[in-house]
């Protein structure tokens, strides 16, 4: 069947109109799906951020220091003053630190020295306490010593 030119134009126009309508429907359907998926992702991210915020607030509410652990401490009296090592042990215990302690006498020396077995102990509460108590003492790390902390008290 032979169409006049205007009929062909109508058919082409109808075909293109239907094709355009189909593309628009696809665009709307996939656009809405895309928006829904992204909103769901956004909601999940918001929930995750709220959970992270809750955990962070709980962490900030917790005390900065973990429960105190027990340290092995040796105090050497190299000052010549009788009873100084025992007095130092008692001061450490009365400050609230749990320690297994021993004392001894050493060769006379002019300054005090604090030796820590592990570098981490220096920054713990007991390390801070000892550095404040003996501010002029030399601080060193001695990985070979048996005790966690050795304090050599000089003159």
Rg for the chain, CA atoms, rounded: 39
Q: What are phi and psi of 75, to 5 degrees?
A: -115, 120
Give pLDDT, residue 28: 87
The region of weakest confidence among 48-57, 74-83, 84-93, 122-131 is 48-57
Alpha-carbon dihedral of residues 138, 143, 146, 147, nearest 10 degrees? 40
- pLDDT higher for 1 or 92? 92
Task: Specify the DSSP class assigned to residue 80.
Answer: S
Residue 129 has pLDDT above 60, yes or no: yes
Long-range contacts of 80-88 (CB under 8 A, 24+ apart): 80/108, 80/155, 84/153, 85/153, 88/151, 88/153
Binning pLDDT at 50, 70 and 90, where does residue 77 land? very high
Give the span between the Cα atoms of 127 and 121, in whole angstroms: 6
Q: What's the pLDDT at 87? A: 93
Task: Using alpha carbons, select from 93, 104, 92 the residue that is nearest to residue 130.
Answer: 92
Q: What is the pLDDT of residue 115?
A: 92
> Would you say the pTM of this structure is higher than 0.75?
no
Residue appearing with tokens 């006498």:
105
* Residue 116: strand, helix, or coil: strand
């Amino acid at each position: 069947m032979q169409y006049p030119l205007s009929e062909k134009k109508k058919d082409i126009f109808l075909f293109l109109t239907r094709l355009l309508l189909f593309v628009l429907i696809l665009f709307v359907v996939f656009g809405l799906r895309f928006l829904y998926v992204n909103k769901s992702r956004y909601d999940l991210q918001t929930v995750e951020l709220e959970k992270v915020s809750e955990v962070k607030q709980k962490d900030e509410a917790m005390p900065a220091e973990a429960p105190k652990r027990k340290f092995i401490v040796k105090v050497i009296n190299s000052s010549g003053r009788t009873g100084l090592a025992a007095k130092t042990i008692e001061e450490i215990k009365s400050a609230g630190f749990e320690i297994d302690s021993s004392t001894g006498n050493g060769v006379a020396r002019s300054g005090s020295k604090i030796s820590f077995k592990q570098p981490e102990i220096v920054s713990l509460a007991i390390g801070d306490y000892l550095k404040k108590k003996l501010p002029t003492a030399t601080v060193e790390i001695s990985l070979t010593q048996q005790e966690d902390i050795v304090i050599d008290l000089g003159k």
